[in-house]
Structure 1
Amino acid sequence: MKIDPKLLEQAREAGLPVERMTEQTLRKALAEYAPYRGLSDEEKAKRWAEDNAEAIKAHREQIEKYGVFGEDLRTW
């Protein structure tokens, strides 16, 4: 895998910890995507809904309580 040398140079000049960022990004990606590896699209969707059920419920409750953001600004 190659990283655009100019981008890498800019990051280093900006003082960004490129190696650490790369490792952190890989760890995060593995944690997020590994559980879905090998599943069909339908299975992935089901697993995602199960994994995020609490957040989905909280979001729906917030909409019920406060409405949709910007709803008062709609002209249609």
Structure 2
Amino acid sequence: MGKSELKIEIDPAMVAEAERLGVDLTTAGLAGVQQALARRRNALKSDAERAADARAWAAENAESLKAYNERIARDGIFGEDFRTW
């Protein structure tokens, strides 16, 4: 699939700062559009779809979550002895 060309206007100060910091505006723009699409897709999901996503995430990460919980049970939370609440 080919790519579409898009003309946008950006504040010159932002362009100068991006150049100074080595930010590739094409890559940054693409990443921004991808993030906006992901947020919009998520916003359009029903509560049931979000719940299904959460269950799928928990299933995919069950091993890591179990290991984390075991470590906390065994070693406690870092800095817990300094808490005042």
State the TM-score, normalized to the length of structure 1: 0.56
Paired amino acid for 1:36:
N
| Partner SS, residue 68 of structure 1 | coil
Q: Percent identity?
A: 26
Q: For the structure 1 residues 47 and 25, does the alpha-carbon distance in structure 2 shift closer, same or farther, using more than 3 Å as the test?
A: farther
For structure 2, the residue ranges without an aligned partner over 5 or more in a row are 1-7
Q: Which amino acid aligns with 1:26?
A: V
Q: CA-atom RMSD, angstroms?
A: 3.1
Contact map agreement 1:11 1:18 (CA 8 A) in 2: yes
Q: Cα offset for 1:37?
A: 5.3
- Any conservation in 2 of the 1:36–1:44 contact (CA below 8 Å)? no
Higher relative contact order, chain-length normalized (CA < 8 Å, sep 6+): 1
CA distance in 2, matches of 1:48, 1:10: 38
Bigger radius of gyration: 2
1:72 to 69, 72, 81: 81
Taking the aligned partners of 1:8 and 1:64, their CA distance within structure 2 comes to 48
C-alpha spacing 1:33/1:72, structure 2 compared with 1 (3 Å): same
Query: Which residue does 1:39 correspond to in 2?
Result: 45
Partner residue of 1:16 out of 23, 28, 40? 23
* One-letter identity of the residue aligned with 2:24: P
In the alignment, does 2:41 pair up with 1:50?
no
The count of residues paired between Structure 1 and Structure 2 equals: 73
SS of 2:18 mapped into structure 1: helix
CA spacing shift, 1:65–1:34, aligned 2, 3 Å: same
Tell me how far 1:60 sits from its aligned partner. Answer: 4.9
